Chain A
Amino acid sequence: QKEVEQDPGPLSVPEGAIVSLNCTYSNSAFQYFMWYRQYSRKGPELLMYTYSSGNKEDGRFTAQVDKSSKYISLFIRDSQPSDSATYLCAMSALDSSYKLIFGSGTRLLVRP
């Protein structure tokens, strides 16, 4: 079993929809949680960064962390065709490794 699980999709939604992207994890030591967006043939671009539990909002994006359930989410409001990309969750532990562990990514398609 992978440390970080993410549904590969693809997830297809109409423009303007609210999108929910999720990851589950098994390592309770994870404390740092990130969401990256990756367009085709580009490097991952950091969208959201949170430490420990709680919510964080940035424009149309909201990141949620539920450590009790080992579950993190990224919500995109008023989705746009330009949001079509692969979304990767990543997390690391508060120990000597600090190694970022990535999910395999969810491909999102926002239809005009």
Chain B
Amino acid sequence: EAGVVQSPRYKIIEKKQPVAFWCNPISGHNTLYWYLQNLGQGPELLIRYENEEAVDDSQLPKDRFSAERLKGVDSTLKIQPAELGDSAVYLCASSPSTTEEAFFGQGTRLTVV
């Protein structure tokens, strides 16, 4: 069974430019998460989806971050405009349901210069 797939693996952009990350969860997993991981820290939740619905986006900086999960499968996370402080690893995870274990993708390492 294929795991959570994320692309790109690495992205370098100049500040004030837009950037987008893509995630394909494990087949059949209804719950999808986007996490942010800074160096030396644990992942922090940005947004959680139950199918197409964003049920927890309280930690998403909505002035510059947006996310969507059309048709309840793939998801994209966008930053516009990017700031230097956005440099981090963006992780996508999925689980069969909210109360079950989450499986992570490899992450996208973003560097804003």
A residues contacting B by CB (< 8 A) are: 4, 6, 8, 32, 34, 36, 41-46, 49, 88, 90, 94, 97-100, 102-105
Q: Which residue of B lies closest to A42 (CB)?
A: B106
B40 and A32 form a contact (CB under 8 A)? no
Alpha-carbon distance A36/B103, docked complex (angstroms):
10
Interface of B is mostly: loop
Interface of A is mostly: loop
B48 and A49 form a contact (CB under 8 A)? no
A90 and B48 form a contact (CB under 8 A)? no
**Number of A-B residue pairs with CB-CB distance less than 8 Å in the complex they form:** 51
Contacts of B105 in A (CB 8 A): 43
B residues contacting A by CB (< 8 A) are: 4, 6, 33, 40-45, 48, 56, 91, 98-99, 101-107, 109
B107 and A43 form a contact (CB under 8 A)? yes
